[in-house]
Amino acid sequence: MHALPLPAFDDNYIWLLRDGTGRALVVDPGDAAPVLAALGDGPPPHAILLTHHHGDHIGGVDGLLARWPGTPVFAPRDERIASASQWVESGDEVAVGPWRFRVLAVPGHTRSHVAYHGEGLLFCGDTLFSLGCGRMFEGTAAQMHASLARLAALPGDTKVCCAHEYTLANAAFALAVDPENPALQARADAIRSLRAAGQPTLPTRLGEERACNPFLRCAETAVRAAAQRHAGRPLANDAEVFGALRAWKDGFRA
């Protein structure tokens, strides 16, 4: 299953799936223009999926509905998403054209954030990034750690379709935390080559993230030790390790 990342703004991706007839599924359209350009005069989208309420993820919905009125808009239950036509909750199945996705609640970045998993794909918004994770604007470290663990438990060949091109900067932080990790070293080299060629680093595969992403590796000895050194104190459990890593990343400069 091929998911196309459409660049938007400085570093966003809007995700697009097409079926055999040319009809599409649109995920997190913060801007209508890239979607309108990609779909042109083709048939209307099957639906729009939204992961959370931030403007760089939902700001283009009204423009798409103006072009294709009545397009279903699936979103987490949140009064801040006025364009939603159908609320979704954890455990729901969303049937869109030929595709089926299961909804996963992943609070932390926002209180109502969800992800969509199916067809070998994971649309995870701003919860999981390649080699990183989102900031905690409305959740706790324990919530975000639990959300990431929920995603990390999915099959390793799942293609991770996150919503920002942050991978190069995330690699610098990951190497500061876990510099002796050979899988991470190889991934960082590949990322540098992709970005030098102007290519996206996404989607990535979940198995790669489990091997390289420090935020999914809080139980690993090297990651825990690095977090404790930076925090200057013992950390009692994996959620505390995660919280220390996230605080470190918030102030990190390569």
Q: How far apart are CA 207 and CA 153, in angstroms?
A: 10
Q: How far apart are CA 194 and CA 188, in angstroms?
A: 10
Q: Report whether 4 contacts 15 (CB < 8 A).
A: yes
Q: Report whether 225 contacts 183 (CB < 8 A).
A: no
Q: Going by DSSP bridges, is the β-strand pair 132-133/114-118 parallel, antiparallel, or unpaired?
A: unpaired
Cβ-based neighbours of 218, under 8 Å, separated by 6 or more: 145, 224, 227, 238, 239, 241, 242, 245
3-state secondary structure of 253: coil
Q: Report whether 61 contacts 73 (CB < 8 A).
A: yes
Q: How far apart are CA 103 and CA 124, in angstroms?
A: 10
Instruction: Supply the residues annotated as catalytic.
Output: 52, 54, 56-57, 109, 126, 164
Q: Report whether 126 contacts 138 (CB < 8 A).
A: no
The residue among 123, 127, 102, 130 whose CA lies nearest residue 113 is: 127
Q: Report whether 55 contacts 31 (CB < 8 A).
A: no
- Burial class (CB within 10 angstroms; exposed 0-12, middle 13-18, buried 19+) of 4: middle
